[in-house]
């Protein structure tokens, strides 16, 4: 559970301003999970991080997310809504609570309490012969097929980033996250895994960590064509935080000018009171 103050959020925003997207995503993840060791966050399964960020988004700015997308076929501008709370829950995220932003859509409170679940729904049902176990080293899926017995760690953002820097990202990811592979009782390496077993591993990972590959399929109201898009919740949330932070700084500027209050004093006000005092200033 994260209680994030307006001052804390502003500090997060300031720290991320000069950073690249991966570092910003890490800052946001740290805000969502302040109780988890920062060094461990990049190792958490990718989908778990996405769920954490959706939960943070819900806590900060509410459930409704506006998404805009251009149709790939005809170029029509499409706009639709997503439910951050629903996504966080369905992806198995932990609920995050915050009172800092107050949200443009009012205080974020929705149906359903925090469920604290860190396990993805269906996480242990990756199909026949696949199981997922949550251990100290993260979550591990197990695939047993045709005499093969493979244990594979769910990739985190650190794994994806490291693999992306190699000439063969797929192979690198396989080697990085392979915990153990045994064929007919003999230990083998990642290079020895046949394609069907690799495919089974990919399926088991997807079933255990569904948020890792969150794709939207949107049908165009104009031409009917479907456009597939990936929603990058980290950059979506960063854009919102950036807009929020600049609004808050403007509020501080206006209130400090009008009343002579300090920044900490103004940030300590609830968003509602801040708004009210601003209206009074405007009326004068």
Binding site for Zn ion (CB under 5 A): 71, 73-74, 76, 220, 222-223, 225
Smallest separation, CB 219 to Zn ion (Å): 9
Return all residues near 78 (Cβ < 8 A) that are at least 6 apart: 68, 69, 70, 71, 218, 220, 221, 227
The CB-of-225 to Zn ion minimum distance in angstroms stands at 5
Residue 218 CB, nearest approach to Zn ion (Å): 10
Nearer to Zn ion, 187 or 225 (CB): 225
**Least gap, CB of 230 to Zn ion (angstroms):** 18
Complex with Zn ion: residue 17 or 73, whichever CB lies closer: 73
Residue 227: CB minimum distance to Zn ion, A: 7
Compare residues 1 and 73 and give the one whose CB is closer to Zn ion.
73
d(CA 243, CA 234): 14
Spatial distance between the Cα atoms of 177 and 96, rounded to a whole number of angstroms:
28
Which is it for the CA torsion 240, 55, 160, 227, positive or negative? negative
Closest by CA position to 115, among listed 154, 62, 58: 58
Cα–Cα distances in angstroms (integers) from residue 150 to residues 57, 192, 256, in the given order:
36, 12, 62
- In the complex, minimum distance from the CB of residue 216 to Zn ion, in angstroms, rounded to a whole number: 15
Question: 118 vs 218, which CB is nearer to Zn ion?
Answer: 218
Q: Which is nearer to Zn ion, 226 or 272 (CB)?
A: 226
Kindly tell me which of 74 and 180 has the beta carbon lying closer to Zn ion: 74
Please tell me the distance from the alpha carbon of residue 197 to that of residue 115, in angstroms, as a whole number: 35
Within a 10 A sphere around the Cβ of 75, how many other Cβ atoms? 10
For residue 64, the minimal CB distance to Zn ion (Å) is 24
In terms of Cα–Cα distance, which of 32, 24, 38 is closest to 52? 32
Closest CA to 181 of 190, 173, 172: 190
Q: Which of 18/217 has CB closer to Zn ion?
A: 217
């Amino acid at each position: 559970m994260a209680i994030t103050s307006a001052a804390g959020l502003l500090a997060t925003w300031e720290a991320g301003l000069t950073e690249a997207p991966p570092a910003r995503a890490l800052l946001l993840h740290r805000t969502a999970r302040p109780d988890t060791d920062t060094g461990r966050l990049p190792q958490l399964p990718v989908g778990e991080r996405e769920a954490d960020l959706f939960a943070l988004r819900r806590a900060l700015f509410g459930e409704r997310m506006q998404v805009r997308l251009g149709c790939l076929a005809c170029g029509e501008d499409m706009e639709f809504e997503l439910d951050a709370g629903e996504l966080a829950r369905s992806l198995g995220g932990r609920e995050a609570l915050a009172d800092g932003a107050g949200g443009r859509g009012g205080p974020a409170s929705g149906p359903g309490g925090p469920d604290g679940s860190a396990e993805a729904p269906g996480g242990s049902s990756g199909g026949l012969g696949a199981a997922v176990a949550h251990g100290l080293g993260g979550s591990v899926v197990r695939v047993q097929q045709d005499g093969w017995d493979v244990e594979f760690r769910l990739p985190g953002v650190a794994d994806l980033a490291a693999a992306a820097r190699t000439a063969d990202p797929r192979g690198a990811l396989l080697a990085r996250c392979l915990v153990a592979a045994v064929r007919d009782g003999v230990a083998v390496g990642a290079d020895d895994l046949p394609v069907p077993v690799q495919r089974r591993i990919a399926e088991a990972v997807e079933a255990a960590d569904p948020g890792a590959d969150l794709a939207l399929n949107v049908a165009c109201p104009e031409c009917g064509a479907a456009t597939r898009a990936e929603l990058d919740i980290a950059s979506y949330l960063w854009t919102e935080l950036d807009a929020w932070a600049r609004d808050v700084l403007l509020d501080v500027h206006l209130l400090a000018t009008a009343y002579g209050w300090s920044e900490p004093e103004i940030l300590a006000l609830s968003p509602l009171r801040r708004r009210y005092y601003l209206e009074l200033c405007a009326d004068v």
